[in-house]
Amino acid sequence: MGSGTRGERPPPDALVPQGGRFEGRVVSLGGARIEGHVIGPIETQGELVVGPAAHLVGRLKVGALELAGEAEGDVVADRWAALHEGATLRGT
């Protein structure tokens, strides 16, 4: 997961590592990876990779989404979105 399988570069190290928590707005011009908990909107022009232990609460506006964890909120993906087995999305 997160290996750039759709023709993009792999995202950087996790912005929020597994076991970590962040509250607030996250903005990234490139790709991003989340392994922990984020409460607040996330915006990235690149690929957002959400690990299997991650839990996001807030609007996602991304270039592309690879979701293996949980997300609660509306999602806007400009190019594509992929949900892995076991992923949960509550929103539109």
pLDDT digits (tens, 9 = 90+) for 27-76: 998 889 999 999 999 999 999 999 999 999 999 999 999 999 999 999 99
Three-state DSSP state, 60:
strand
Q: Report the distance separating Cα 43 and Cα 38, nearest Å.
A: 12
Contact partners, residue 5, CB within 8 Å, separation at least 6: none
Predicted structure pTM score: 0.85
Residue 86 CA from chain centroid, whole number: 15
Q: Report the distance separating Cα 81 and Cα 67, nearest Å.
A: 8
Three-state DSSP state, 57:
strand
